[in-house]
Chains A and B, each alone.
Chain A
Amino acid sequence: MKREIPILITLVFGVFMIVQFFIPHPAVNDIANRLQNWAIIVISFSYVLGSANILRINGELVYRRAPGWPYKLVLVIAFFTMATPGLILGIAEGSWTNDRLFTFTYVPLASTMYASLAFYIASAAFRAFRVRTWQASVLAITALIVMLGRIPVSHFIWQDLPGIVDWIMGVPNAVAQRGILIGAALGAIATGLKVILGIERSYLGRE
């Protein structure tokens, strides 16, 4: 029953959510609305569950002095340092939590992490962007054209360059993206049906 009941719940609610899309009746809409609100509440609870899980796993590793435990300890301390003042003092602009912890600590750290990508991209471009095959040549030439065409001085380099970039983005790129999007959408429909019909059960975890 541990597996049958969740599969039955998934089947009933999954089929209902598909069917309600085609029945614009207030009563059906009302039920669908309630179900969507349930989903929002469940997703919100997953944050509580995730937080508890992080603390449990990392706390245990710190307690056992497992390899790398000081990093886990930093994570646990950072967790409480951010969460406790936020819960007590609030997070609105002007609060200590917002100004000291978020704006002056978390924001610069996160921005630095993202900005460091520019350095790694430059290094990778030098080391890995070799035109060993004709496919690599097409990729490299396209990348050079798009990079040049996306800067403000592109039309000084060659007047037609921005137009060529627009063509690359609008024709070959759009064609490839549409193929990927349609393929992904069909895959999502197939996976959704497999979950609803109980064929795909990995979301239930192991026996």
Chain B
Amino acid sequence: MANTTLQKLEKLDRRWVFLAMAIAVAAPLFFKLGLAPKTTPPVKAFYDYIEQLPPGSRVLCSFDYDPGSKAELNPMCVSVLRHIMLKGHKPVILTLWSTAPALIERNINEVCRDEFGKQYGVDYVYLGLKEGREAVMVAMGKSIRSTFPTDFYGTPLDNLPLMNGVENYSSFALLINVSAGYPGTKEYVQYVTSRFAIPMLSGSSAVSVPEYSAYFQSGQLRGLLTGITGAAEYEALIGKPGLAITAMDGQTMGHFVIIFFILFGNLIFFINRRSKGRA
């Protein structure tokens, strides 16, 4: 009888697993746990690098993600813009992902225009999308003006005061990339950072972090935000709690559910194997 129950449990209908996960990630919407992560060294390095730039520094931001990774990377993008604005730096923003322009435009308007009341063209510029992946990255190293003759709204770069004197990467104090994959951080490291000597910070989805942490160790990345956890740490550092910190409750519960099912599955597996061995 007990054996039959265990064998049934080993073949548990996956809909029960789905239900457990749904409850785990939905429960924090009603019962807030308020969990805030401890700051890790890559996130601290990211924060410190922006902090130590002289106020008014021009920062090139490449936000490369799509609606699929919005939940994970949008809070990061918003926090990066907030930090840049808080320190009085001037971002020039672009994207290499065709489904990103609208997402990024909304963030820029919410943060730079509405929250901080900055002036477009003077305090920040949005270049929009340019197709061409690595070719665009390398072309910007030669001339940003020939790569982006106009901004997202069709205004020639010469009419934007912030773009006066901007030629290539050497016109910027820093490159920040928030990336969900290709083209993104890996390609910027391979084609841009060393060749054009521009320091780079990266924020990426958690699945890419094992790959990018090697770049952080080697110094090719000066700082690294790691998934929604990294974004939550960063929000706490800049003192502007947002969606990432809210999402930590759901993520924590989700991790516990996965850990429970791994342990539970293996426990049943071992008991069943032992029973079969005895038989």
Q: How large is the interface on B (under 10, 10 to 19, 20 to 34, 35 or more residues)?
A: 35 or more
A-B pair count, CB < 8 Å, reads 158
Min CB distance A10 to B, Å, is 16
Main secondary structure of the interface of B (DSSP, over half): helix
Among B18, B255, B256, B259, residue most surrounded by chain A Cβ atoms (within 10 Å): B255
Point out the residues of chain A lying under 8 angstroms from B214, CB to CB. Answer: 173-174, 177-178, 181
Q: How far is the CA of A106 from the CA of B98 in the complex (A)?
A: 13
* Option from B146, B213, B262 in Cβ contact (under 8 Å) with A169: B213
A145 to B251, CA, bound (A): 16
Interface residues of B in 181-195 (CB under 8 A from A): none
Distance from A171 Cβ to chain B, minimum over Cβ atoms (Å) = 9
Residues in B whose Cβ lies below 8 Å from that of A103: 102, 106
Contact B40 A162 (CB under 8 A): yes
- The one of B22, B41, B69, B254 in contact with A114, judged by C-beta atoms closer than 8 angstroms, is B69
With an 8 Å Cβ cutoff, the count of chain A residues facing the other chain is 55
With known contacts A98-B102, A177-B211, A151–B132 Cβ distance under 8 A = no
Closest to A107 in B: B67
A153 touches B252 (CB 8 A): yes
Interface check A53, CB cutoff 8 A: no
Shortest Cβ gap from B7 to chain A (Å): 14
Contact of A106 with B67 at beta-carbon distance under 8 Å, contacts A129-B262, A151-B251 already known: yes
Per a CB cutoff under 8 Å, which of A106, A130, A147 touches B259?
A: A147
Q: Is residue B116 within 8 Å, beta carbon to beta carbon, of the partner chain?
A: no
- Is the CB–CB distance between A140 and B266 below 8 Å? yes
Chain A residue at minimum C-beta to C-beta distance from B109: A93
Q: Contacts A44-B131, A44-B132, A152-B37; is A129 near B265 (CB within 8 Å)?
A: yes
B21 at the interface (CB under 8 A from A): yes
Contacts of B269 in A (CB 8 A): 130-131
Note all chain A residues with C-beta closer than 8 A to B130: 40
The stretch that binds A, out of B83-91, B135-143, B156-164, is B135-143
Interface of A is mostly: helix
Given A126-B264, A143-B262, A152-B35, A43 contacting B153 (CB threshold 8 A): no
Q: Is B262 in contact with A125, judged by CB distance below 8 angstroms? A: yes
A123 to B102 Cα, complex, angstroms:
34
CA gap between A20 and B65 in the complex, in Å: 32
- On whether the beta carbons of A125 and B69 are closer than 8 Å, the reply is no
**CB closest chain-A residue, reference B143:** A33
Q: Does any Cβ of A come within 8 Å of B92's Cβ?
A: no
Q: 1/0 contact trace for A6-18 toward B, CB 8 Å? A: 0000000000000
A131 CA to B265 CA, complexed, in Å: 10
Closest chain A residue, CB of each to CB of B134: A39
- Residue of B with least CB distance to A176: B210
B211 CB contacts on chain A under 8 angstroms: 177, 181
Q: Chain A, 151-174, contact with B by CB distance < 8 Å: what is the 0/1 string?
A: 111110000001000100110011
A-B contacts, 18 of them at CB < 8 A, read A36-B138, A40-B136, A40-B147, A43-B131, A43-B133, A43-B135, A91-B102, A102-B102, A113-B68, A122-B21, A126-B262, A130-B269, A131-B266, A152-B38, A153-B252, A169-B209, A174-B214, A181-B214
